[in-house]
């Protein structure tokens, strides 16, 4: 029996401090089909294998759609176990909710399973987008795009992220009520947009970009995805408008000081990370074409905006109901300000030990990407069951199980569980995978954590918040369905 290699278990870095685990360089965690001579070693360390001829499908129910059966995922796991079959969006699907199996399938990527986002997302992102790529093309894109998300690059974004966060918080505190989720989507979109187009965009241009991006994302799951569907057509038109605005910014020429002006002789801006990628890749020969970089830009906006906004929104809802957590975070900030001064710097972000525990707990409890989808290219054996080629695989990233070394080891929102008795951060259990793993580990995980921590730090240093009509934190399914009417009243601390 051939097996799928599990060579690398991703452990997202808990901090920006040197010496902490960094995700492996993209080349290190390629999965490949093993040669027969090495298979014995893999048998002992792998979970997913190529299926034997005799098929044994997982238990479950294929007779009706998962939504129509009115049974929750947890109830299914209780009834059938961690690997079960069901119907989802008209397709036969196997759901995998065991962290060991999920990890193995995440690394078993090229040639064994492929990404499947459906026709809407695929077309709206574009063929050159990293989420649509497999094999060598995917490796090449990661090699190039990683340069924008190294630790050094991420540290360099902190001043701009802080400026933007300070400006949003100040605006919110000047209004009676803030539509929190909608505002946070603007905040996180502005950050990804700035990586691509610069921080100096005029407010009017930002507004137009946000509007077009919202129209584009509402087309992701439009069905059928063609011109006959007005939502799909509007989304494609919004994509074209976005690209028209992004293109001249990316291809603008740098002047002697590293500034850039667009080809139409328009505004002069600081060179952005994506512009630098374009110029550098032209020079180094490992070129991502302009077309590919445009698709990657849409992909970056898509990957970063709602995920991070949703995390910060839940973070605020948790803070609003837990004054003791706010107090502890504020005490940590006081100490950090005494040590490093008032600026938020990489040292401050690194020094946020309780802030890191808090961030992890937000991501654990409110995992904004609770699962990812894959499609097997061969019959696969998962935990002794066959997943036939062409079925859908839903891999659950959000895991209920806590690490045994965690205290408290019970459900609920407890940042303390990430600290040992001396107040040091504990090792992250393999079941904690908010940023996925393997060759598709989130590229922006460090930036996402920086955004969450910068907002946390600025908030506890100077603001309070209260919900005019209390609501529960958002459930993972609300990511695509929640309207933006989560109201929060911000005030400056007196
Ligand atoms: C809390 C915030 C975030 C969460 C929870 C998150 C989670 C994830 C997950 C689970 C994946 C893997 C998807 C898969 O396996 O199919 C992923 C991929 C990705 N993420 Fe994030 N993400 C976040 C923020 C960001 C940010 C801020 C950026 C960039 C600015 C970003 C860029 C990407 C990209 C480009 C990929 C695709 C990687 C590839 O296909 O190789 N993400 N993210």
The owner of tokens 């919900």 is: 467
Ligand 1 center to 435 CA (angstroms) = 6
Chain-centre distance of CA 231, in angstroms?
25
Q: Please state the ipTM of this predicted complex.
A: 0.99
Residue set of the binding site for heme: 442
Do 169 and 458 form a contact (C-beta atoms < 8 A)? yes
On the question of pLDDT at 176 being above 80, the answer is yes
Ligand 1 center to 247 CA (angstroms) = 23
Number of Cβ within 10 Å of residue 284's Cβ equals: 9
Burial of residue 112 (CB within 10 Å: 0-12, 13-18, 19+) is: buried
pLDDT tens digits, 199-209: 778 889 999 99
On the question of pLDDT at 377 being above 80, the answer is yes
Do 363 and 434 form a contact (C-beta atoms < 8 A)? yes
Per-residue three-class SS string for 338-385: HHHCCCCCHHHHHHCHHHHHHHHHHHHHCCCCCEEEEEECCCEEECCE
Sheet with strand 259-261: strands edge to edge: 253-254, 259-261, 268-270
On the question of pLDDT at 450 being above 70, the answer is yes
Note the pLDDT of residue 408.
80
Strand segments (E) across 136-270? 178-179, 253-254, 259-261, 268-270
Q: Is the dihedral of CA 54, 58, 64, 67 positive or negative?
A: negative
Q: Among 66-80, 167-181, 450-464, where is mean pLDDT lowest?
A: 66-80
Residue set of the binding site: 442
The owner of tokens 């929102």 is: 413
Higher pLDDT pick, 307 / 25:
307
Note the pLDDT of residue 306.
92
Question: Which two three-digit tokens encode residue 133?
Answer: 């790529």
Q: Whose CA is nearest to atom 3 of ligand 1?
A: 307
Note the pLDDT of residue 199.
73
On the question of pLDDT at 483 being above 80, the answer is no
CA nearest neighbour of 479 among 194, 122, 116, 184: 184
Number of Cβ within 10 Å of residue 286's Cβ equals: 11
Q: How confident is the model at residue 51 (pLDDT cuts 50, 70, 90)?
A: low
Ligand 1 center to 482 CA (angstroms) = 20
Give dist(CA 153, CA 233) in Å, integer.
37
Q: Among 85-94, 128-137, 255-264, 299-308, where is mean pLDDT lowest?
A: 255-264
Mutate to test the pocket of ligand 1, among 444, 447, 454 (most ligand atoms within 8 A of CB): 444
Our CA angle for 290, 292, 294, nearest 5°, is 70
Say what angle helices 290-321 and 135-145 make with each other, to 10 degrees.
70
Number of Cβ within 10 Å of residue 412's Cβ equals: 8
Mean pLDDT of the chain: 83
Give dist(CA 81, CA 98) in Å, integer.
9
Q: Whose CA is nearest to atom 16 of ligand 1?
A: 372
pLDDT tens digits, 267-296: 445 578 888 777 766 666 666 888 999 999
Sheet with strand 487-492: strands edge to edge: 178-179, 487-492, 463-466
On the question of pLDDT at 181 being above 80, the answer is yes
Break the chain down into helix, strand, coil percent, rounded to 5. Answer: 50, 15, 35
What phi, psi does 111 have (nearest 5°)? 80, -20
Question: What b-and-e string marks burial along 169-194, b requiring 16 or more CB atoms within 10 Å of the CB?
Answer: beebbeeeebbbbbbbbbbbbbbbbb
Mean pLDDT for the stretch of residues 158-168: 95
CA nearest neighbour of 321 among 184, 471, 490: 471
pLDDT tens digits, 211-250: 999 999 999 989 899 999 999 999 999 999 999 999 988 8
Give dist(CA 297, CA 326) in Å, integer.
36
CA nearest neighbour of 444 among 311, 345, 259: 311
Whole-number percent of the chain with pLDDT over 90: 60
Q: Is the dihedral of CA 321, 323, 328, 334 positive or negative?
A: positive
**Phi-psi map region of 168: left, alpha, beta (phi>0 left; psi -120 to 50 alpha):** alpha
If you compute the radius of gyration of the chain from its CA atoms, what whole number of angstroms results? 23
Note the pLDDT of residue 50.
64
What phi, psi does 302 have (nearest 5°)? -65, -45
Give the DSSP H/E element, type plus range, for residue 102. helix 99-107
Counting atoms of ligand 1 from 1, which one is nearest the CA of 145?
Answer: 35
Domains and CATH numbers, the chain: 26-492 (1.10.630.10)
Note the pLDDT of residue 2.
31
Higher pLDDT pick, 121 / 411:
121
Note the pLDDT of residue 90.
84
Give dist(CA 150, CA 98) in Å, integer.
31
Beta bridge partners of 394: 95, 373
Give dist(CA 463, CA 166) in Å, integer.
11
Q: Whose CA is nearest to atom 39 of ligand 1?
A: 440
Mutate to test the pocket of ligand 1, among 445, 453, 454, 476 (most ligand atoms within 8 A of CB): 445
Higher pLDDT pick, 39 / 199:
199
Q: Whose CA is nearest to atom 11 of ligand 1?
A: 442
Pocket of ligand 1 (CB under 6 A): 115, 130-131, 142, 192, 299-300, 303-304, 307-308, 311, 368-369, 372, 397, 434-436, 440, 442-444, 447-448
On the question of pLDDT at 39 being above 60, the answer is no
CA nearest neighbour of 117 among 397, 435, 394, 444: 394
Whole-number percent of the chain with pLDDT over 70: 79
Residue by residue, DSSP assigns 407-454 as SS-SSS--GGGGB-TTSPBPPPPTT--TT--GGG--TTHHHHHHHHHH
Note the pLDDT of residue 257.
54
């Amino acid at each position: 029996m051939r097996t799928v290699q599990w060579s690398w278990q991703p452990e997202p870095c808990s901090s920006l401090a040197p010496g902490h685990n960094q995700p492996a360089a993209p080349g290190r965690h390629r999965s490949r089909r093993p040669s027969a001579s090495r298979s014995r070693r893999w048998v002992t360390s792998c979970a997913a294998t190529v299926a034997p001829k005799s098929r044994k499908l997982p238990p479950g129910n294929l007779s009706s759609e998962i939504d129509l059966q009115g049974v929750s995922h947890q109830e299914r796991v209780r009834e059938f176990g961690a690997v079960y079959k069901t119907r989802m969006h008209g397709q036969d699907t196997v759901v995998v909710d065991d962290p060991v199996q999920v990890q193995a399938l995440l690394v078993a990527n090229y040639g064994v399973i492929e990404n499947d986002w459906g026709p809407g997302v695929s077309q709206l992102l574009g063929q050159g987008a990293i989420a649509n790529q497999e094999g060598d093309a995917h490796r090449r894109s990661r090699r190039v795009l990683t340069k924008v998300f190294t630790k050094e690059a991420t540290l360099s974004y902190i001043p701009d992220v802080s400026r933007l966060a300070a400006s949003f918080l100040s605006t919110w505190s000047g209004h009676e009520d803030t539509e929190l989720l909608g505002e946070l989507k603007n905040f996180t979109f502005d950050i990804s947009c700035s990586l691509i187009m610069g921080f100096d965009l005029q407010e009017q241009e930002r507004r137009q970009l946000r509007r077009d991006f919202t129209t584009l994302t509402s087309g992701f799951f439009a069905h059928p995805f063609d011109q006959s569907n007005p939502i799909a057509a509007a989304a494609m038109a919004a994509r074209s408008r976005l690209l028209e605005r992004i293109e001249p910014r990316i291809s603008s020429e740098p002047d002697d000081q590293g500034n850039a002006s667009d080809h139409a002789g328009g505004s002069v801006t600081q060179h952005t990370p994506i512009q630098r990628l374009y110029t550098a890749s032209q020079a180094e020969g490992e070129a991502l074409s302009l077309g590919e970089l445009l698709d990657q830009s849409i992909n970056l906006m898509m990957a970063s905006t709602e995920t991070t906004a949703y995390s910060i929104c839940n973070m605020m809802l948790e803070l609003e109901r837990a004054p003791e957590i706010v107090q502890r975070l504020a005490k940590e900030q006081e100490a950090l300000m005494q040590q490093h001064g008032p600026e938020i710097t990489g040292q401050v972000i690194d020094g946020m030990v309780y802030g890191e525990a808090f961030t992890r707990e937000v991501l654990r409890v409110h995992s904004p990407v609770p699962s990812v989808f894959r499609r097997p290219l061969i019959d696969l054996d998962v935990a002794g069951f066959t997943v036939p080629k062409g079925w859908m695989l839903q891999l659950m990233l959000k895991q209920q199980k806590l690490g045994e070394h965690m205290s408290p080891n019970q459900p609920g929102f407890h940042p303390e569980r990430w600290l040992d008795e001396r107040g040091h951060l504990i090792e992250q259990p393999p079941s904690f995978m908010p940023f996925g793993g393997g060759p598709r580990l989130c590229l922006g995980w460090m930036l996402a954590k920086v955004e969450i921590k910068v907002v946390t730090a600025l908030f506890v240093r100077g603001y309070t918040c209260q919900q005019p009509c209390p609501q529960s934190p958002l459930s993972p399914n609300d990511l695509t369905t929640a309207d933006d009417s989560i109201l929060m009243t911000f005030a400056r601390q007196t």
